[in-house]
């Protein structure tokens, strides 16, 4: 089989920033926190984004929102994804101390969930190009590199992918990521490669392809069908973070057990114990998704009362399966 690393792997230039690979980890609400992002980049991801952060939440100094932005010098290139619909809130967020450490601002214009759409945020912005343009321009005034993630439109009768891509570039975006499903497709069904190809043909900035990539074969097909400059991995990165080393050809001796124990160490260092335990339970639940006895393992994990107990259960779960 053709290897992604031989056929399509390359460095990616976004504005004045150069990434080591064109295989990226998507922002995923509730998951792509600091420890998880470090793991992805360690395994070969060129960049991993924070989970979705409310621009309004930062404007009003919401501390729960601010906690999503934990980072330190070990994260070499830092990218935050902002959600909202008010240009002034985006500009404030981009210029604030909250995002001072971040090199890249990614704007969420693709989230399809009902509450986000009702607020005029996420994918709803594909229906208001003037407002979307003002948001991009507001972020660019911070002087940071700006990227945009969006869907081709609300449904197949309302595809705006080429026009929207051009608007992003004209407004100052340094890169776009196109999820190949319309809003009404949510996260189901095969992505429509033609939509991503249309975006690629419409602009000169890098275009990243996203949606339905669960294996190296999927990533190869995505690149072949779209001509994109790279791929963005989403849910597969939770279940199989080794996908990054597979796609980039990065040699690693890591196992699921070693990765989970390292996640526990990092989470224990930068979060309080309850938050660290929550993170390990969520990530390990994805890691063990295809293992026999998953239900019993989960019950054991959620029955743990501290991180020391969680570590013992992790060794039991992944140590046994990796012998």
Among all residues, which ones are annotated catalytic? Answer: 111
Please state, in angstroms and rounded to a whole number, the distance separating the CA atoms of residues 288 and 304. 17
Q: DSSP 3-state assignment of 315?
A: helix
Which distant-in-sequence residues (6+ apart) come within 8 Å of 196 by Cβ? 161, 178, 180, 207, 209, 222, 225, 226, 228
Residue 202 falls in which region: left (phi positive, over 0), alpha (psi -120 to 50) or beta: alpha
The answer to whether 154 touches 127, Cβ cutoff 8 Å, is: yes
Query: What is the token pair recorded at 194?
Result: 């033609």
The answer to whether 141 touches 91, Cβ cutoff 8 Å, is: yes
The answer to whether 177 touches 210, Cβ cutoff 8 Å, is: yes
Residue 150 falls in which region: left (phi positive, over 0), alpha (psi -120 to 50) or beta: beta
Q: DSSP 3-state assignment of 290?
A: coil
CA atoms within 13 A on the CB side of 197: 11
CA 272, chain centre distance (Å): 24
- For 9, 81, 102, 134, 266, the CA distances from 50, given in Å and listed in that order, are 23, 6, 10, 23, 16
The answer to whether 109 touches 150, Cβ cutoff 8 Å, is: yes
Give the largest CA-CA distance in the chain.
57
Please state, in angstroms and rounded to a whole number, the distance separating the CA atoms of residues 205 and 198. 13
């Amino acid at each position: 089989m053709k290897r992604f690393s031989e056929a399509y792997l390359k460095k990616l230039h976004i504005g004045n920033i150069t990434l080591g690979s064109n295989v990226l980890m998507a922002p995923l609400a509730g998951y792509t926190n600091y420890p998880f992002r470090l793991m992805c980049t360690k395994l070969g991801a060129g960049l991993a984004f924070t989970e979705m952060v409310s621009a309004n939440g930062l404007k009003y100094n919401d501390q729960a929102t601010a906690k999503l932005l934990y980072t330190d010098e070990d994260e070499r290139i830092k990218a935050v994804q902002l959600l909202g619909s008010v240009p002034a809130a985006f500009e404030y967020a981009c210029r604030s101390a909250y995002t001072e450490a971040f090199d890249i601002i990614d704007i969420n214009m693709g989230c399809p969930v009902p509450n986000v759409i009702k607020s005029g945020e996420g994918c709803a912005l594909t229906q208001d190009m003037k407002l979307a343009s003002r948001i991009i321009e507001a972020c660019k005034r911070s002087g940071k590199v700006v990227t945009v993630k969006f869907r081709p439109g609300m449904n197949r009768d309302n595809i705006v992918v080429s026009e929207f891509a051009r608007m992003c570039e004209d407004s100052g975006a340094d890169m776009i990521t196109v999820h190949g499903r319309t809003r009404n497709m949510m996260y189901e069904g095969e992505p429509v490669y033609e939509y991503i190809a249309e975006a690629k043909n419409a602009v000169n900035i890098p275009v990243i392809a996203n949606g339905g990539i669960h294996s190296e074969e999927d990533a190869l097909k995505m690149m072949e069908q779209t001509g994109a400059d790279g791929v963005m991995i989403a849910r597969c990165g939770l279940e199989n973070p080794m996908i990054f080393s597979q796609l980039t050809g990065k040699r690693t001796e890591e196992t699921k057990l070693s990765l989970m124990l390292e996640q526990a160490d990092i989470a224990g260092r930068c979060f309080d114990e309850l938050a660290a335990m929550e993170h390990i339970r969520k990530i390990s639940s994805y890691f063990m998704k295809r293992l026999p006895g998953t239900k019993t393992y989960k019950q054991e994990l959620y029955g743990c009362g501290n991180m020391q107990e969680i570590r013992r259960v992790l060794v039991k779960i992944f140590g046994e399966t990796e012998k």
